[in-house]
């Protein structure tokens, strides 16, 4: 019986990780039509939130670290910036996990927005300290909006794996 | 027995603690990586092995994935061109009428410039070689704005090389590997570019903030800028050649002066990487720092040291204070590369070509010989010292050290 089995890491960590990497690469293609570029959401943010809600894990923080480093290398930003921001988001979601239990989808979406905002504010501060200049607020808001619309992907991951491990019911 | 009463449920608490410890370890690792990152130094060695390896892999992957994107973009352009053909035709006819008038003016100015250059013996900058490349990946977030171009070390690209599209400056290279170079866009938060306002010649620093319109910092002077003013690179600091088009000035919503980038007029799919060598790349800093200290200048009543006999005019004390002959390297560091500081100069030796020609020789040449720097029009301390006794026959035009694009 599948429900009684322990949750395999590759199923809830490996496969979504691969999907997030592929999505990030696809959205990094230099495509421009009618003067508009593709948005650049932070796909691993949905994973950082969903993994914290699904269950506490030893592997998840390291998976997030790797995803963040890949993001930094691919986007050409300061190495470790998104790794740290995503881990902060994961930490916020993990600490609020007990409060999120049994909440409606709208409340969870609000929590997702809160964790994303925390990560982006942290990123703003780190970048400000690093480059001694303030990043623009408007591009940050665009990326924030592009990221919070990814919540349905996080919800799907939560629905798939929240009850998959009998020890965490 | 329900699953909640199962003894396995006890695993929950230690696992939560273990997860917290794992999170702390990961945070410490990420912090250490972030603190050790030296991207902002823009030095070739600061672009780590991991970045070089990933760029090498990403360039062909991005190129492959971007191909359908280019087709789709081309399709959109075709549709837009089809529906906008009539209005575009009318606009182009008006523009062509204006351009014909400008062409006549430009030809007249070109001839006049050529005559002045011949008269003054002005050494203009050599043309800058360039490499064409295709953009294969793009990031435009608030914290990083970079692109990967598919031309790298094998084609002579170096860290610091400016990158242009057909419309204007795009950014500069911050990392190079085989087959790929990472371009830091003007909009990146770490980008700083010295620019000048074409109308007033006022200087400013173009500072990226992650948005599409970088801001202008350190604007000085009274009314230095107006809406719609054209901005060009100033060439200050020698990192970017002078005169590359950057964009036009606009007043931002926050009240600060910002720039609508010229390169944003069209998609940046192909770029030109200028193989421009800035001053710090050309100069031999090691040799420069080893330049010998000049011998002390003998005073009126002091005995002359052997080997320091001053030549007549150059060492003669002047009322305004004796002009001390500067050391060979300090006079014009560029020449230190080609001339040994102690070597005996020959007055009849032809100066090398280029804007830095002759300056080192002038520093150590016999003072009674006409320094080549005067011939080439370069302004060096050596010519000033000599000029105290023997003023140059014609005015010395000031040439910027890293002049380039605008001619």
Q: Output the domain CATH number for residue B257.
A: 2.40.10.340
Domain count, chain B: 2
* Nearest to B187, CA basis, from B211, B163, B217, B204: B211
Structure confidence at residue B53 (pLDDT): 80
Residues B238-255 have a mean pLDDT of 88
Residue A114 scores a pLDDT above 50: yes
- Name residues whose C-beta falls within 8 Å of residue B404's C-beta, 6 or more positions apart in sequence: B125, B128, B235, B241, B242, B243, B244, B276
pTM over 0.90: no
B153 against B45, higher pLDDT: B153
Residue pLDDT, tens place only, B50-59: 778 888 888 8
A115-129, A154-168, B380-394 — which one is most confidently predicted on average?
A: A115-129
Q: Name the pLDDT band for B44 (thresholds 50, 70, 90).
A: low
Residue B352 scores a pLDDT above 50: no
Cα atoms in the Cβ-side hemisphere of radius 13 Å centred on B346 = 4
Pairing mode, strands B270-274 and B130-140: antiparallel
B78 and B54 part of one domain? yes
CA distance B141 to B185: 11
Which residues 114-153 of chain B have a CB within 8 Å of chain A? 135-144, 146-148
B381 occurs within a structural domain? yes
Q: Is B74 on the interface with A (CB under 8 A)?
A: no
CA distance B133 to B156: 12
B265 and B319 part of one domain? no
B392 against B134, higher pLDDT: B134
B168 and B55 part of one domain? yes
CB A17 within 8 A of CB A67: yes
Q: Name the pLDDT band for B104 (thresholds 50, 70, 90).
A: very high
Q: Say whether B135 and A91 touch across the interface (CB within 8 A).
A: no
B246 and B287 part of one domain? no
Residues B256-267 have a mean pLDDT of 88
Q: Is B4 on the interface with A (CB under 8 A)?
A: yes
What residues in A contact B23, CB-CB < 8 Å? 61, 87, 90-91, 94
CA distance B316 to B324: 10
B294 and B270 part of one domain? no
Structure confidence at residue B247 (pLDDT): 93
B267 and B353 part of one domain? no
Residues B260-271 have a mean pLDDT of 86
B268 and B147 part of one domain? yes
B228 and B337 part of one domain? no
CB B142 within 8 A of CB B185: no
Residue B194 scores a pLDDT above 60: yes
Structure confidence at residue A59 (pLDDT): 92
B317 occurs within a structural domain? yes
CA distance A95 to B140: 31
Residues A29-39 have a mean pLDDT of 77
Range of the domain at B74: 49-83+125-277
Of A42-46, B72-76, B315-319, the one with minimum mean pLDDT is B315-319
Structure confidence at residue A63 (pLDDT): 95
Pairing mode, strands B230-233 and A36-37: unpaired
What residues in B contact A62, CB-CB < 8 Å? 22, 26
B406 occurs within a structural domain? no
Under DSSP, the state recorded for B405 is: T
Residue B138 scores a pLDDT above 70: yes
Q: How far is CA B149 from CA A18, A33, B30, in A?
A: 25, 20, 28
Q: Is A32 on the interface with B (CB under 8 A)?
A: yes
> A134 to chain B nearest CA, in Å?
7
B37 against B339, higher pLDDT: B37
A93-102, B120-129, B313-322 — which one is most confidently predicted on average?
A: A93-102
B238 and B322 part of one domain? no
B74 occurs within a structural domain? yes
> A142 to chain B nearest CA, in Å?
9
Residue pLDDT, tens place only, B157-183: 988 899 999 889 999 999 898 889 999
Structure confidence at residue B183 (pLDDT): 93
Count CB-CB contacts under 10 A for residue A48.
31
* Nearest to B268, CA basis, from B142, B167, B176: B167
B75 and B223 part of one domain? yes
ipTM above threshold 0.85: yes
CB A42 within 8 A of CB A72: no
What residues in A contact B48, CB-CB < 8 Å? 79
Residues B190-201 have a mean pLDDT of 91
Q: What is the pLDDT of chain B when averaged over all its residues? A: 72
Helix A105-131 / helix A43-54 crossing angle, nearest 10 deg: 130
B179 and B229 part of one domain? yes
Residues B129-133 have a mean pLDDT of 91
Of B22, B76, B182, the CB nearest to A76: B182
- Name residues whose C-beta falls within 8 Å of residue B155's C-beta, 6 or more positions apart in sequence: B131
B252 and B158 part of one domain? yes
CA distance B367 to B347: 10
Helix ranges (H only) for A55-168 are: 59-75, 81-95, 97-100, 105-131, 137-148, 151-161
* Cα angle value B153/B157/B158 (rounded, 5°): 95
The first and second tokens of residue B108, run together, are 């007249």
Q: Name the pLDDT band for B254 (thresholds 50, 70, 90).
A: confident
Structure confidence at residue A5 (pLDDT): 58
Residue pLDDT, tens place only, A129-144: 888 888 989 889 999 9
């Amino acid at each position: 019986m599948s429900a009684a089995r322990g949750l395999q890491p590759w199923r809830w960590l490996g496969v979504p990780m691969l999907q997030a990497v592929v999505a990030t690469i696809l959205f990094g293609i230099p495509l421009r039509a009618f003067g508009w570029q593709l948005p650049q959401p932070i796909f691993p943010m949905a994973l950082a939130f969903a993994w914290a809600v699904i269950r506490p894990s030893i592997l998840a923080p390291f998976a997030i670290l790797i995803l963040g480093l890949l993001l930094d290398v691919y986007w050409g930003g300061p190495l470790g910036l998104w790794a740290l921001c995503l881990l902060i988001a994961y930490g916020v979601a993990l600490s609020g996990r007990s409060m999120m239990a049994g909440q409606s989808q709208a409340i969870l979406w609000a929590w997702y927005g809160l964790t994303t905002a925390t990560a982006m504010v942290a990123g703003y501060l780190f970048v400000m300290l690093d480059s001694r200049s303030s990043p623009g607020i408007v591009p940050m808001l665009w990326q924030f909006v592009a990221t919070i619309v990814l919540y349905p992907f996080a919800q799907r991951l939560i629905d798939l794996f929240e009850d998959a491990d009998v020890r965490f019911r | 027995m329900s699953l909640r009463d199962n003894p396995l449920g006890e695993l929950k608490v230690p696992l939560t603690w273990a997860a917290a410890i794992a999170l702390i370890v990961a945070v410490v690792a990420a912090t250490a990586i972030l603190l050790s990152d030296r991207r902002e130094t823009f030095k070739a060695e600061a672009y780590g092995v991991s970045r070089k390896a990933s760029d090498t892999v990403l360039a062909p992957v991005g190129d492959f994935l971007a191909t359908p994107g280019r087709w789709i973009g081309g399709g959109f352009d075709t549709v837009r061109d089809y529906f906008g053909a009539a209005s575009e035709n009318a606009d182009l006819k008006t523009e062509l009428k204006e351009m014909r008038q400008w062409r006549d003016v430009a030809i007249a100015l070109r001839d006049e410039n050529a005559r002045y250059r011949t008269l003054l013996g002005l050494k203009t900058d050599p043309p800058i070689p360039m490499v064409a490349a295709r953009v294969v990946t793009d990031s435009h977030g608030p914290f990083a704005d970079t692109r990967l171009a598919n031309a790298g070390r094998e084609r002579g690209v170096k860290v610091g090389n400016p990158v242009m599209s057909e419309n204007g400056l795009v950014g500069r290279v911050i990392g190079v590997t085989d087959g790929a170079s990472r371009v830091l866009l003007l909009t990146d938060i770490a980008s700083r570019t010295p620019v000048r306002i074409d109308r007033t010649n006022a200087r400013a620093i173009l500072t990226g903030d992650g948005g599409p319109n970088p801001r202008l910092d350190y604007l000085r002077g009274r009314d230095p800028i107006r809406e719609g003013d054209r901005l060009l690179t100033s060439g200050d600091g020698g990192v970017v050649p002078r005169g590359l088009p950057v964009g036009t000035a606009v007043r931002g919503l926050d009240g600060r002066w910002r720039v609508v980038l010229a390169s944003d007029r069209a998609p940046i799919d192909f770029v030109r990487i200028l193989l421009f060598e800035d001053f710090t790349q050309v100069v031999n800093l090691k040799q420069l720092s080893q330049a010998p200290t000049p011998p002390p200048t003998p005073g009126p009543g002091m005995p002359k040291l052997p080997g320091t006999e001053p030549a007549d005019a150059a060492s003669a004390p002047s009322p305004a204070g004796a002009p001390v002959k500067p050391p060979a390297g300090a006079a014009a560091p560029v020449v230190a590369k080609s001339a040994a500081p102690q070597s005996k100069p020959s007055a009849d030796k032809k100066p090398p070509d280029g804007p830095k020609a002759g300056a080192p020789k002038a520093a150590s040449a016999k003072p009674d010989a006409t320094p080549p720097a005067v011939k080439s029009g370069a302004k060096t301390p050596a010519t000033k010292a000599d000029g105290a006794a023997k003023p140059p026959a014609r005015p010395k035009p000031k040439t910027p050290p890293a002049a380039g694009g605008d001619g």
